[in-house]
Amino acid sequence: MASYLRSLLITGLLTTYATLTAAQKSGSGITTRYWDCCKPSCAWNDLETLGIQSAVKTCDAQDQLLTDATAMSGCNGGTAFMCSGQSPWAVSTDLAYGFAAISVSKPSCCQCYQLTFTSGAISGKKMIVQATNTGADLTATQFDIAIPGAGYGIFDGCSTEWSATTSIWGAQYGGSSTNTCSSFPSALQPGCSFRWDWFQGTDNPTVDWEEVSCPAAITDKSGCVKIGDSPTDSSSVSSIAVASSSTAAATSSSAMASSSIPSSSAEPTTTSFAAAHSFSDSASSEASTPVPSASSASAASSSITTIDASASASSTGSSSYMSSVVTTTTSSAPEPTETDDDDDTCEL
């Protein structure tokens, strides 16, 4: 009897462990947005500590790739900044790729996550993001999506990197409340437009998330692969997009059959320094513009730009670092009450 009870106990413990492990691989969460231009946390050369095969790429103030992973962040007087090539882009009408910051309390550099949006105008769409940065103010299930013009938070590295005035970026948290992308440096305009096109101006949508292998199109941009991960090829990407479209079509057909109420950009390329750092005469001055609430978020553009899943990825990518980001943890911050980005990304 004792042996039998011991077996039951061990089985129960193993089942509980398996359940907890599985829970760490998927769940529900929230999203915010940011773009501070600082060197990301996963861009340093302590690869073993970060659990990565190579560091995330960074760029200098001319948006040119740096080869020195020890270069200090431009947000701390150094020369390393986020590259424009780390902007998000649309793969299809229902699938996009990009990068994000995650909680510093649970660092997982260069892990990819598939986000299925569950609220707002983009509910049902999917986005695969790679974690290239961390933030002490982010919760364990929060994804701070990197989008140019989405708010620089505590650290404004963008004005230094792009020789711009702070006002052009919009509000410190959340960025501009309207599409002012035409006033941005040309290298940032495609990524900025993503927010108003594919993302439909949705304000901090909720998500269901799960860990996935990174698509090669993402790791080609960031230069970073997590130890043990094998990037997927374009055929796998196409399968995800097709599955997403099929699910949406099936849902639509079901809704029509039951007479129920229906449920609710081109990839950036590297430009010359002169072109990338040029501004239009209509620079934004919305630094104090409040971020719209989730209930009032709406699409600013009905057009959606897509790219072929097999299109070649730009070689530029970037990231930002917080000192002792891996070895030092902080108490979990409460979920944000503002519809903002983070403050998270820049390190000291």
Backbone angles phi, psi at 189, to 5 degrees: -65, -45
For residue 232, what is the DSSP state? B
In one-letter notation, the amino acid at residue 278 is S
Q: Pick from 347, 274, 313: which is nearest to 81 by CA?
A: 347
What's the rounded Cα separation, in Å, for the pair 218 and 91?
Answer: 11
What's the rounded Cα separation, in Å, for the pair 56 and 42?
Answer: 6
What's the rounded Cα separation, in Å, for the pair 170 and 287?
Answer: 4
Does 60 participate in catalysis according to the annotation?
no
End-to-end alpha-carbon separation of the chain, Å?
A: 59
> Which member of 36, 197, 203, 344 is catalytic?
36
Cβ atoms of residues 46 and 160 within 8 Å? no
What's the rounded Cα separation, in Å, for the pair 282 and 300?
Answer: 18
What's the rounded Cα separation, in Å, for the pair 145 and 212?
Answer: 17
Cβ atoms of residues 321 and 39 within 8 Å? yes
Q: Pick from 37, 34, 42: which is nearest to 185 by CA?
A: 37
State how far the alpha carbon of 99 is from the alpha carbons of 33, 34, 132, 137, 334, in Å.
10, 10, 6, 18, 22
Instruction: Please count the other Cβ atoms lying within 10 Å of the Cβ belonging to residue 239.
Output: 12
Does 220 participate in catalysis according to the annotation?
no
What's the rounded Cα separation, in Å, for the pair 220 and 313?
Answer: 6
> Which member of 94, 144, 197, 229 is catalytic?
144
What's the rounded Cα separation, in Å, for the pair 74 and 137?
Answer: 21
Instruction: Please count the other Cβ atoms lying within 10 Å of the Cβ belonging to residue 316.
Output: 24
What's the rounded Cα separation, in Å, for the pair 202 and 188?
Answer: 19
Q: Pick from 293, 265, 325: which is nearest to 205 by CA?
A: 293
3-class secondary-structure state, position 143: strand
The residues annotated as belonging to the active site are: 36, 144
